[in-house]
Structure 1
Amino acid sequence: MRKTLLLLVPVLLLGACSWGITLDDAAKNVRTAWSGDVSSCRELGKVTVSVMDRVGPVDRNDIKVRDELEVLARNEAAKMHADTIKPLAEPADGSQPWGAYQCGATAVPPAAGRHPVPASKGDAQTFPIKSG
């Protein structure tokens, strides 16, 4: 029993890691248009990003995987001089395709139920809501 526990603890701890994925300075100005209309924007291309969604037999937290995919997509879009990204499909096996767009001053309407983030503020942060 003790051996099993000693083998399982490192796997669980690794599953909680963020893998060192951080938002680049240039990517802080890249917006995410979750379901907004990007038809008035210029399409710059497509990026497909991927992260580990499993550590051994353990699935990583879906929200963390999605957050990391968005951060990587914003980083890649910034390298393309894009200012907006939009997911093209749901994540599958730790991979997700994103469209990269240059919208300039054109505001991308927010998705229903989401509050817009002012384009001039690059310092927005999100925090998890704890139930209980």
Structure 2
Amino acid sequence: MTKEEFIKWERSSVDTIDVKRVYIDVAGDIVAGILLSQIIFWFLPNKKGENKIRVVRNGIGYLAKNRTDWWEECRIKPRQYDTAIEKLKKKGVVEVMNSLFRNKRTPLITINFKILVELIEKAEDAHFKIDLGWEM
């Protein structure tokens, strides 16, 4: 592949992951930030405004994904997932319950949006103060 072919390929590639830096700040490290970003992706409406979440229990939407499923989506290995999801749970950003999904034991993940928004606002406020040179 020539440099020009590479540039053309790069521009046309849809094999990307969109991660906001604040998600990394909220999560505390890059792997947990990527995982948080992907979890948030699944809870956002699709381009038609439709919900992507299909599992609903007691009125709460859940993302059903096994620890081995994340590699294909965002290159997070199962042990990295274990560590990252624990960090997100400790921060209260996500809640996870194990259940049967398609006859297979599967983690069901939901987002605590109240805590997520609070942590995003706190992280953005901290960056704003740093950018202005304020002491924290």
Instruction: Verify same fold: TM over 0.5.
Output: no
Q: TM-score under structure 2 normalisation?
A: 0.27
Tell me which protein shows more helix as a share of its residues.
2
Higher relative contact order (CA 8 A, sep 6+): 1
